Structures are given as C-alpha cells and as structure tokens.
C-alpha cells in the first residue's frame, strides 16, 4: 500500500496514463509500420501501398489526442470557475447565517 502522500499525488492519473499511453503507442506503432513498409525489402512490395494510409492514421490519432487535451483543459477551467461560484455562494450563506440581522427572526424567540 502506498503512503498517503503518494496515493494522493497519483490519485486519478491512471486514466491519463492509460489514454495517452495507448495513443502514443498507437502513433509510434503506425509510424514504425509506415517506415518498415519501405525499409524492409521482404514486406515492402506487399505493404508499400499502405504507406500513406499508415501515416494518415498516425496523424488522425495525433489530432484526436490534441483535441482530447484541449477538451480536458477547457473542462478543467470550467470546473475551476464553477468551484469559485460555489465557494462564493456558500460564503454568502454562512455570513448571512452567522451575522445578526437588523430584524429579529420570530423563530429565534427563546420562549418558543
């Protein structure tokens, strides 16, 4: 079992490691396949026609990862903005509840 600080540091990072790891491994694999279709004479004649398709597939995965990164960044900014609004609302509610008002609340009568 990891100590608390390490567990806290790595909490929620598995989906990023998994997502980016698969994407980067797929890009590397596609680029390697595209390179080896022309570099190895035994398979070059058979897979040479897929060279451009493999490059386009690697580019498509890279575009998908970039879009994913931008969406994640935008979602993080939105969550931070929502957190600020929630904190202001809670702070205002607490201030209203803890500061005495000018008007006596009829339900705060000690004889009730």
Positive or negative, the CA dihedral 18, 21, 27, 30 is negative
Three-state secondary structure string covering the chain: CCCHHHHHHCCCCHHHHHHHHHHHHHHHHHHHHHHHHHHCCCCHHHHHHHHHHHHHHHHHHHHHHHHHHHHHHHHHHHHHHHHHHHHHHHHHHHHHHHCCCCCCCHHHCCCC
pLDDT recorded at residue 16: 81
Per-residue pLDDT tens, the chain, 112 aa: give them: 557 777 777 777 887 888 889 999 999 999 998 888 877 777 777 777 888 899 999 999 999 999 999 998 999 999 999 999 999 999 888 877 776 666 666 666 667 6
69, 86 Cβ separation under 8 angstroms: no
pLDDT recorded at residue 47: 72
pLDDT recorded at residue 104: 66
């Amino acid at each position: 079992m990891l100590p608390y600080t390490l567990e806290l540091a790595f909490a929620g990072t598995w989906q990023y490691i998994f997502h980016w790891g698969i994407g980067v491994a797929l890009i590397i694999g596609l680029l390697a396949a595209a390179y080896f279709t022309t570099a190895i004479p035994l398979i070059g004649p058979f897979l040479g026609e897929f060279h451009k398709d493999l490059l386009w597939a690697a580019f498509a995965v890279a575009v998908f990862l970039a879009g994913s990164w931008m969406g994640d960044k935008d979602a993080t900014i939105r969550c931070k903005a929502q957190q600020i609004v929630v904190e202001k609302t809670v702070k205002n509610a607490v201030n209203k509840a803890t500061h005495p008002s000018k008007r006596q609340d009829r339900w705060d009568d000690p004889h009730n």
